[in-house]
A and B are shown apart, each in its own frame.
Chain A
Amino acid sequence: MSTPFTPVVGGSALPSDAPAPATERNVPHRGGPANPSAEALRAKFGAAVLRVDVVWGETTVIIERTRVQEIVRWLHDDPSQRYEYLSDLTGVEFRDAEQPIEVVWHLRSIAFRRFLRLKVQLQRGQPLEVPSVWPVYKGADWLERECYDMFGIRFAGHPDLRRILMWEQYKEGFPLRKDFPLRGRFSRAEQLRQALAANPEARYSMEELSIADAFEDLPQEMRNRLRSGEKTGE
């Protein structure tokens, strides 16, 4: 990081006469004061900010897909923003198949006590790919892997984008997509058959197999398959 780290204390960047944080009550459904960072983003990035919504008191900024990393890095580094904490990262697919799939980042500025939701809308037909924010927030590692695992959204620039909750050989698709049936795509019999036929040795990823001499401990047949360039497993 370029700037030296300053200790983070909640509200430390606020003026001393700023009102103390309080439980929000009677939050309006739409409208109300927007997070000042939304205006700052508009001023800084102009056309990359597509829309600003305030729903239930939370500010959502819908941004251009290609400029996610740039925007997030600015929010993280700029002393007037200091969004140093990535709360959450996830995807949303609506029941209406016409609506775009969304990728949502929840950022917090602890120093300014601000909360900001960034959103990218991936239109149907567009590739499901957004830039990774891992270079800015290391905490995005598993969150992005989970989002990929559940929605099939790829994060360009993620160092190790593979399934995390489902196993690596999982073939049924992406469970949180709306076209994925609640009980899975395959019949129970097929799911059972696949589970029984799974080779437990195949549960090692390529990274693990590359470790030391573990490779030599694998069955001959698996070693051959790995040599022939197969990624993992079955």
Chain B
Amino acid sequence: MATIKRTVEVELSTTGMDAQGRPVRTPLAVAEDGSTVAVAAPPSMEPELEGEHMLINLGPQHPATHGVLRLVLELDGETVVRCIPHIGYLHCGFEKIGEYRQYNQIVPWTDREDYLNSIGNNVSFILGAERLFGIDCTPRATVLRVIAMELSRIASHLVWLGTTCIDIGAFTPFLWAFQERENIYALLERWVGARLTTSATRVGGMAADVPAGWTEQLQTFITLFPKTIDEVERMLTKNGIWVGRTIGLGAMTAEEALNYGLSGPMLRASGVAYDVRKDFPYLDYETYDFDVPVGSNGDVYDRYLVRVEELRQSTRILEQALRRLPDGPVNVDDHRVILPPKSKATSEMESMIHHFKQVMEGPRPPIGESYVATESPKGEKGYYMVSDGTAKPVRWRIRPPSYVNLSAIPKMVEGHLLSDVIAINASIDIVMGEIDR
């Protein structure tokens, strides 16, 4: 394991008060050789206890595994010697089912894989499908989709923040995070009628335009939300317990992180400035002014810092998107993929044929393939679709970021304590629905 030495000024520490009642600021210098300790290095076992390894099952029914993940851990005392992950308990064959569905019918399935980011998945998927159809969405839909993706990034990071706090032992930030998340779901519910399973996009546009007064409600959220981030940061960032439980855990160097295929905040915490929105932009992300936070140590603490900063940056993007939201149609004027209005379908021959073809056969993309990746809250979410010219894809592949991120967990937990496995696992931000599909 790489040695990590760093100093964090601790403010809200429980280590003690000085005579004036101010909290004692204890610099925490952490080295995994145990020289200066915040996270205790794995204790060396007493000689007579060596050699007695224990095999334990963490999960699949364990609340801290965030779903049904099973880790088989070989322990030497309390130190993890080996970790063998088992997945697949939620496997329902999404990709197989997708081969029997038309493109618009796949959208509801994308809600259900990474269910914390459902509207973001809708947008990611439909960008891939539209590439396959050779369609560019309208300016209004472009901005609405950016709003959808950033809202769902915030919602997903808030769940991550809340559940990680619970895993590590802090309860209050969980309530704050879920309160804000509730505001986002209220917004989504007003927009598309559903909170979690949004199915908001269609090939060529959106299922619905935002209702009147929605943008004002979003503006209120944008105005109030940064206060919550500040509160959470004040509570955690310099908190002695939080710092002690997160610094130096599960560190990945930049080289390792890249080689293991990590993406999203996991990769950026390790110091690789790779964000799909910046490097392979989509939905005009290159025209928004936002920063990509990058960590340096790649441990649980840095992943926390990166995600909290991403909350702020997403709010910035939302603000800009709201300011530029143009008027106009949300659906493209292309009757290969968008149904003509009913009045026209009953009065014009051509519209009636389009209507008939679409309902009876479904929109058909030309033969081809596309891999479109977007930056989901978990990392690079790619949809790879192959079309043979029929209305249903030959292959619909989801590139699940948390699947690849989770595959590095043996590397991250080995050598750490059993209780740290929980913190490291939480820091990956896994959603088993996406991993097992």
Contact = CB atoms under 8 A, between A and B. Distances in A.
Interface of A: 1, 5, 7-11, 20-27, 29-30, 55-56, 58, 60, 84-88, 90, 92-96, 104, 106, 108, 110, 113, 115, 117, 137-143, 146, 150, 163-167, 175-176, 180, 182, 203-205, 207-208, 211-214
B87 A164 contact: yes
Contacts of B406: 142
B259 A139 contact: yes
23 contacts: A8-B273, A9-B272, A23-B282, A26-B136, A56-B132, A56-B368, A58-B371, A90-B384, A90-B397, A92-B394, A93-B394, A106-B399, A110-B258, A115-B371, A137-B261, A138-B261, A138-B408, A139-B262, A165-B91, A176-B95, A208-B84, A211-B53, A212-B55
B29 interface: no
A143 B401 CA distance: 11
A55 B369 contact: yes
Contacts of B96: 175-176, 180, 182
Contacts of B214: none
Nearest to A4: B255
Interface string B397-437: 10100011011100100000000000000000000000011
What are the 10 A-B residue pairs with the smallest beta carbon separation, nearest first?
Answer: A139-B261, A10-B279, A212-B53, A142-B407, A165-B88, A88-B399, A5-B255, A214-B55, A165-B91, A92-B395
A11 B279 CA distance: 7
Contacts of B86: 203
A202 B341 CA distance: 59
Interface of B: 52-55, 72, 74, 82, 84, 86-88, 91, 93, 95-97, 100, 131-132, 134, 136, 254-256, 258-262, 271-275, 278-286, 366, 368-371, 373, 380, 382, 384, 386, 388, 390, 394-395, 397, 399, 403-404, 406-408, 411, 436-437
B93 A29 contact: no
Interface of A is mostly: loop
Given A10-B275, A23-B283, A212-B54, A106 B87 contact: no
A10 B278 contact: yes
B271 A7 contact: yes
B281 A23 contact: yes
Contact of B258 (A10, A84, A117, A207): A84
Contacts of B399: 87-88, 106
A95 B387 CA distance: 10
Nearest to B258: A84
B136 A25 contact: yes
Contacts of A163: 88
A87 B379 CA distance: 11
Contacts of A86: 261
A23 B130 CA distance: 14
B29 to A, nearest CB: 24
A150 B95 CA distance: 10
B407 A212 contact: no
A58 B370 contact: yes
Nearest to B136: A25
Given A8-B272, A87-B382, A182 B394 contact: no
Nearest to B370: A56
A88 B282 contact: no
Contacts of B286: 20-23
A213 B55 CA distance: 8
A96 B259 CA distance: 36
B278 A21 contact: yes
Given A110-B272, A164-B87, A205-B84, 14 more contacts: A5-B255, A10-B278, A20-B286, A21-B280, A22-B281, A106-B399, A113-B280, A139-B262, A139-B404, A142-B404, A165-B437, A207-B84, A208-B84, A213-B53
Contacts of A175: 93, 96
B382 A166 contact: no
Contacts of A92: 386, 394-395
Contacts of A55: 368-370
B287 to A, nearest CB: 8
A87 B380 contact: yes
B265 to A, nearest CB: 16
Contacts of B54: 212
